[in-house]
Every structure is written in C-alpha cells, then in structure tokens.
C-alpha cells in the first residue's frame, strides 16, 4: 500500500513515538515495560496510518466543510454503526463501568444502559428529522429557531460536555498505561491525545470513522481475552456472581429498590433520566446521524449502536465483579490504590503479560475512538455555529475546513489539561451529560418540536435551568450548593423540566416575528 501523499504526518508520528521513548529511557525513573511499549507503538502507528490514508481520501473527494465534518454525507451503514458505537464505548465507558461495579454495586452502574437507551430514543424521535433537514451540526436547528447569539450561549454547555468527556477518557487511558506499561500519567495522556488529535485534524470524520472500525474490533477482542483470565482467580462466573451478591446484597442487582438505594432512591432516578435524555443532545451523536447516507440509515445506525453499547458493557461489569471479590491480599500487588484503577489493576495483575498488552490495546482503542470524535465535534460547532456567523459570515467552505483543523488542536489541548486534574473517571463521565441534560436538552426539544419556540423562551429556559441546576452545587467541580434542596431530591431533572416549561411559556408570552431573530 503506498504511503500517503503527504509524508509530514508520518514524520510527526515517528518523532512523537521516538521522543516519548527517549524521554522515558533517559529522563524518567519509571520501570517501563519496553516490549509492551513497542507493541503499543505499533498499534498507534497502525491507527495513525489509517487516519492519514483517510486524510488523502478527504483531500481527493470532499476537501470542504462537509468533507471535514460529515464525510460528504456518504457514510455507509456498517461504517456508521462502527463509528457510532466506538464513540460511546470510550475509555470512560470501559473504565468507569468496571470502577462502579467494583465499588458501588451493580445498581449504580447506570451509564451503559442509560446511554444505550439514549441512542434508541435519539434514533426513534430525533435522527430522522435532523437528517431530513440536512443540518451540519446539532446546533443548526437552534440557530434556525433562536438566532445566532442565543446559539452561541447554548454552545457553552455543549463545549463543556465535550471537554469533560475527552478529559475523562484520557484519564482512563493514562491510568491503564501507568499500571500496565509503567509509564507516568502525564506521558501517557500527552502521547495518546497528540496522536488522536493529529489524525483527526488531518482527515476529519473520514479519519475518525475508519479508525473507529479497527478500534472497536480491537476493543471487543481485548476485553474477550481478559475476562476468562480474571474469572479464573474467583472460581468462574457463577462463583464470582455469588460472592458479589453476598458482598453487595440488593445493590448487586441492576434493578432499583428501596433496599438497595436507601436514602438515594430518587437520586438514582435523577441520574437515570439524566443519562437517557442527556445522552441525546451531543454533536458526537448527531455528527454521525447527519453524515449517514439517508434518513433510514440514520435511524438504523442509532438503534443498532444502542445494542452494541449494551454488549460492550458485559466485559467491564465482569471485570468489576472480579475486582470486588478477588482476594487481593494474596497477590503481591495488593488491592487497587483507588477506584479509577480497578480495570488497569485487573488487566495488569490477573492476566499474563501478553493478554495485559492486548487489554491495554483495547482500552487505548476505546479512548482514541472517543477522543477523536469529541474534539472534532466541539471544533465543528465552534467554527460553524459561532465563529462563522458572528465573526466572519462570508467565510468560504474551504477556509472553514482549515479553521476546524486548527480548532481541533485547541480543543485537544484544553481537554488534555483538564485530564491532569481528574480524580474519578466515572464522576466526570456523569458530569458530561449533566450540563447538556439540564441546559441544552430543553432548547433542542423546543427547537425541533415546538413551532412557537423563540429566543426569549430559550433564554428564559436556560436561565431557570441554570439557576436550579447550579443551585444544587457539584462535588466534582467543587461548587457549593446555594439552594436548600432536601436530601435525595432530583434537582437535575427538576432543572431540566423547569427549563423546558419556562421556554414554552416564555415563547408564548413574548412572541416575536420570524425576521426579528438574530
């Protein structure tokens, strides 16, 4: 296979991997597992090469904004299913599911089925309408309904969600790298982020989609290899589940109950609704819907990807059960040092070195398949929905694609800096959907389904939802609560519903002419 026409991308890859190896060898005291490092370098080279080839394809066929953001709206169904599934099944999905299964009980492992349901709901009620109207981003219907300035405000929760999502999955990979390869967290995060951002900037959605096909296959292969080795330490599947049930009691079930949840019963439902509906207003989702060849493809890929997400959660759940029930005191490494190290610890110490490297490849594949999607999504919205309409309305499409490439690097750097501060992968993973659920979901629903929605309603809904949501505070961000909510009160869902209702009421109390929107 010939090399891509532009050799600079391959030179960048060589310098990056060579520089990382030199840094680890000469300037750190880390006990690096070099055979594993070389194996991961080969994996990264393969993924990067596929992305570079996709860049050649984009330059040859779709060298414009549609080519960069939507792959020319020509993604076939099988590629679209792979890239949709791989985007949701990221490092946060894999590591976070194992983390909460091991530490909180299966009843609190809500994200896998919550996000799977969000794909189904999105496919049934949103995908066909969005694809039929040929939007370029998720924010386009908001611009159409509320105007450009209000959309710029609503871009903020969308951007925040993408940044937190990317930071969470980079941290998941960094923790796994540190455990399996002996590489420090900073180096692991920087290396992975640089490669994912580089091929995304080169090839746009084609690069993301084609690499996702390979990454999802590696993910399932790696997890399938890990599980049997891990279960052998706890006596097999039946014995593991029995021990897990004895340890967590009612919390070992997926079904919510007063016995399992105690004083957090309504909080559980708050989070459940947050994940189902907060998983819809994401550009990473709608980017694939809008890139599908037709409306039927957009619907089908959403429904099938929801099933794939559920299947992908099985292995992390079993790994979390093993970690919760294995006798770590009998092993030289001892128990995981913190909750976020659950999966890396199982991969490193409950498998053999070869399987551990394959497992690391699975986590790396999951991370890169989500990082590339998130940075492309945030950059597409920022340039298309904010920069172009408000700063340079006459910007041509070819110039638009160049600006998106530059913005990809900016977003990637910002998410990487956030990743260095993450304590819990799962907590940040939840927070991603929190803001878009409370602040963005009402605006999107009204823009698509309320014919009388306008900018006044959008602003009223945003303000009410923001007040009620942030009034409850947030432990992950260190925000104190300033509204006296009672214990176990579902204030996130309350904020979303209040925002939805306020938007509908204000739109009717303050109607505006169509041509008055700006």
**337-343-344 Cα angle (round to 5):** 65
What the block records as the tokens of 428 is: 């940040």
Give the model's confidence band at 190: pLDDT under 50 very low, under 70 low, under 90 confident, else very high: confident
**Rounded average pLDDT over 272-281:** 94
Cα–Cα distance measured from residue 114 to residue 252, given in angstroms and rounded to the nearest whole number: 17
- Least Cα distance to 96 among 172, 3, 1 occurs for 172
What pLDDT, on a 0 to 100 scale, did the predictor assign at position 516? Answer: 46
Q: Measured in Å, how far apart are the chain's first and last C-alpha atoms?
A: 51
CB 347 within 8 A of CB 181: no
What backbone phi and psi angles, to 5 degrees, belong to 500? -65, -45
> How many other C-beta atoms are found inside a 10 Å radius of the C-beta of residue 512?
13
What the block records as the tokens of 95 is: 């590591």
Q: Is 381 exposed, middle or buried (0-12, 13-18, 19+ CB in 10 A)?
A: buried
Q: What is the pTM of this model?
A: 0.87
Cα–Cα distance measured from residue 428 to residue 368, given in angstroms and rounded to the nearest whole number: 17
What the block records as the tokens of 164 is: 């937190």
What the block records as the tokens of 430 is: 């939840």
**301-152-439 Cα angle (round to 5):** 65
DSSP states of 121-151 as a string?
A: HHIIIIIHHHHHTT-SSTTHHHHHHH-HHHH
Q: What is the CATH number of domain 8-35+47-327+334-430?
A: 1.20.1730.10
What pLDDT, on a 0 to 100 scale, did the predictor assign at position 104? Answer: 94
Per residue in 375-407, pLDDT (tens digit) is 889 999 999 999 999 999 988 877 888 899 899
Distance of CA 463 to the CA centre of its chain: 26
Q: What's the number of CA atoms in the CB half-sphere (13 Å) around residue 361?
A: 29
Cα–Cα distance measured from residue 156 to residue 465, given in angstroms and rounded to the nearest whole number: 14
> Domain coordinates of the chain in residue numbers?
8-35+47-327+334-430
Cα–Cα distance measured from residue 431 to residue 441, given in angstroms and rounded to the nearest whole number: 14
Q: Token match 């060849």: residue?
A: 293
Per residue in 46-71, pLDDT (tens digit) is 877 777 776 666 555 555 677 788 88
**Rounded average pLDDT over 76-81:** 88
Using only C-alpha atoms, what is the Rg of the chain? 23
């Amino acid at each position: 296979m010939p090399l891509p026409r532009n050799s600079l991308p391959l030179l960048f890859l060589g310098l990056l991997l060579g520089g990382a190896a030199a840094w680890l060898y000469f300037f750190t005291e880390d006990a690096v597992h070099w055979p594993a490092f070389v194996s991961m370098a080969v994996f990264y080279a393969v993924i990067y090469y596929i992305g570079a080839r996709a860049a050649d394809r984009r330059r040859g066929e779709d060298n414009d904004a549609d080519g960069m953001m939507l792959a020319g709206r020509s993604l076939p169904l099988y590629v679209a299913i792979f890239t949709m599934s791989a985007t949701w099944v990221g490092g946060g999905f894999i590591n976070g599911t194992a983390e909460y299964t091991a530490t909180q009980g299966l009843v609190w492992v809500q994200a896998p089925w919550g996000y799977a349901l969000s794909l189904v709901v999105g496919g049934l009620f949103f995908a066909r309408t969005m694809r039929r109207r040929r939007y370029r981003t998720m924010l386009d219907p908001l611009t159409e309904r509320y105007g450009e300035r209000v959309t710029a405000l609503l871009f903020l929760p969308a951007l925040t969600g993408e940044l937190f999502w990317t930071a969470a999955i980079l941290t998941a990979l960094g923790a796994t790298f540190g455990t399996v390869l002996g590489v420090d967290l900073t180096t692991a995060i920087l290396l992975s982020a640089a490669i994912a951002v580089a091929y995304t900037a080169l090839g746009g959605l084609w690069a993301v989609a084609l690499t996702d096909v390979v990454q999802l296959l590696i993910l399932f292969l790696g997890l399938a290899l890990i599980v049997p080795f891990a279960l052998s330490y706890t006596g097999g599947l039946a014995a593991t589940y029995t021990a897990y049930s004895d340890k967590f009691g009612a919390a070992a079930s997926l079904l919510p109950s007063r016995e399992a949840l105690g004083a957090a019963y309504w909080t559980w439902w708050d989070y459940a609704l947050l994940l189902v509906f907060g998983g819809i207003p994401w550009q990473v989702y709608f980017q694939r819907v809008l890139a599908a060849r037709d409306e039927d493809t957009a619907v089908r890929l959403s429904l099938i990807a929801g099933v794939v997400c559920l299947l992908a959660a099985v292995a992390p759940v079993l790994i979390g059960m093993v970690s919760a029930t294995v006798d770590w005191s009998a092993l030289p490494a001892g128990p995981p040092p913190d909750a976020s190290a659950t999966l890396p610890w199982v991969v490193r110490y409950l498998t053999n070195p070869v399987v551990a490297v394959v497992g690391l490849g699975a986590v790396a594949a999951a991370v890169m398949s989500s990082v590339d999607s998130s940075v492309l999504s945030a950059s597409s919205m920022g340039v298309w929905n904010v920069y172009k309409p408000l700063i340079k309305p006459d910007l041509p499409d070819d110039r638009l694609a160049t600006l998106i490439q530059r913005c990809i690097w900016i977003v990637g750097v910002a998410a990487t800096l956030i990743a260095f501060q993450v304590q819990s992968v799962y907590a940040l993973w939840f927070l991603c959907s929190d803001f878009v659920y409370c602040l963005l979901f009402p605006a999107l629903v009204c823009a698509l389904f309320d014919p009388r929605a306008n900018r006044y309603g959008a602003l009223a809904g945003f303000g009410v939802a923001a007040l009620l949501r942030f009034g409850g505070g947030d432990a992950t961000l260190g925000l104190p609560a300033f509204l006296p909510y009672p214990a176990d009160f579902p204030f996130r869902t309350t904020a979303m519903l209040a925002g939805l209702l306020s938007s509908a009421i204000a739109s009717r109390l303050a109607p505006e002419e169509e041509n008055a929107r700006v």
